[in-house]
């Protein structure tokens, strides 16, 4: 599989993401990418909302995106960004190249069909001594909210959210893949009352031994 087909979600997401950036998302993305250098691979880059925030020390960015509408938008964003970026059509379970200094997963491990497979692939392509940067919405620690998240995941959420799941324990999956959490923060982040279900977020850096 190299592509996905969520045309409605793709269009809605590209619009909503603008509001997200304006309401605090931009700061999270700066923090996500701060200090990166060398060759970097980003999985599920969407329409490229991170591109403007990569530090100049990043010499090459390979950005992988499976949804055709977002992929085309990411190509344009890459042309505008002050960055040596290539946008490739593909999925997280089969990434191009290897030996990257870092991998970036930004609001995507909620959407891949199999987190373990995607993280094993990131582990493979990031070089030993490299790092994974992550910014993801995750399972709530509050049991009542977690229960609602599980119910949504079994019913409508993946259908309306382009394959998204709101109850994944992504930090545990990152560790299970062999990465070592180095800097890790959990926080609540909402931009409107409708996104309360995906308010719990994690942001950080995990080392690839």
Residue 81 in contact with residue 74, Cβ under 8 Å? Answer: no
The least distance separating ligand SAM from the CB of residue 138, rounded to whole angstroms, comes to 13
Compute φ and ψ for 203, nearest 5 degrees. Answer: -145, 135
- Return d(Cα 184, Cα 195) in angstroms, integer: 22
The least distance separating ligand SAM from the CB of residue 44, rounded to whole angstroms, comes to 3
Residue 88 in contact with residue 96, Cβ under 8 Å? Answer: yes
> What residues pair up with 91 in beta bridges, in sequence order?
none
Compute φ and ψ for 179, nearest 5 degrees. Answer: -75, 155
- Of 90, 84, 79, the residue nearest 112 (C-alpha): 90
The least distance separating ligand SAM from the CB of residue 92, rounded to whole angstroms, comes to 4
Compare residues 36 and 70 and give the one whose CB is closer to ligand SAM. 70
Compare residues 66 and 130 and give the one whose CB is closer to ligand SAM. 66
Compare residues 95 and 140 and give the one whose CB is closer to ligand SAM. 95
The footprint of ligand SAM (CB under 6 A) covers 4, 13, 17, 43-46, 49-50, 65-67, 70, 91-92, 106-108, 111-113, 163
Compare residues 94 and 180 and give the one whose CB is closer to ligand SAM. 94
The least distance separating ligand SAM from the CB of residue 59, rounded to whole angstroms, comes to 21
Largest CA distance in the chain: 45
Compare residues 157 and 209 and give the one whose CB is closer to ligand SAM. 157
The least distance separating ligand SAM from the CB of residue 76, rounded to whole angstroms, comes to 15
3-state secondary structure 138-160: CCCCCHHHHHHHHHHHHCCHHHH
């Amino acid at each position: 599989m190299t592509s996905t087909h969520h045309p409605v979600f793709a269009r809605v997401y590209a619009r909503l993401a603008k509001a997200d950036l304006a309401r605090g998302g931009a700061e999270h993305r700066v923090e996500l990418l701060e200090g990166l250098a060398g060759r970097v691979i980003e999985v599920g880059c969407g329409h490229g909302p991170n591109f403007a925030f990569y530090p100049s020390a990043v010499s090459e960015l390979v950005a992988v995106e499976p949804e055709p509408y977002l992929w085309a938008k990411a190509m344009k964003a890459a042309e505008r960004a002050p960055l040596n970026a290539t946008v490739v059509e593909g999925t997280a379970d089969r990434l191009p190249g290897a030996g990257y200094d870092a991998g970036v997963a930004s609001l995507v491990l909620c959407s891949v069909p199999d987190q373990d497979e995607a993280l094993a692939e990131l582990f493979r392509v990031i070089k030993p001594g490299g790092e994974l940067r992550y910014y993801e919405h995750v399972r709530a620690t509050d049991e009542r909210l977690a229960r609602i998240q599980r119910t949504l995941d079994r019913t409508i959420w993946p259908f309306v959210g382009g394959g998204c799941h709101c109850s994944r324990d992504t930090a545990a999956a990152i560790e299970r893949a062999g990465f070592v959490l180095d800097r890790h923060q959990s926080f609540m982040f909402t931009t409107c009352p409708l996104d309360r279900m995906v308010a719990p977020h994690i942001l950080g850096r995990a080392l690839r031994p």
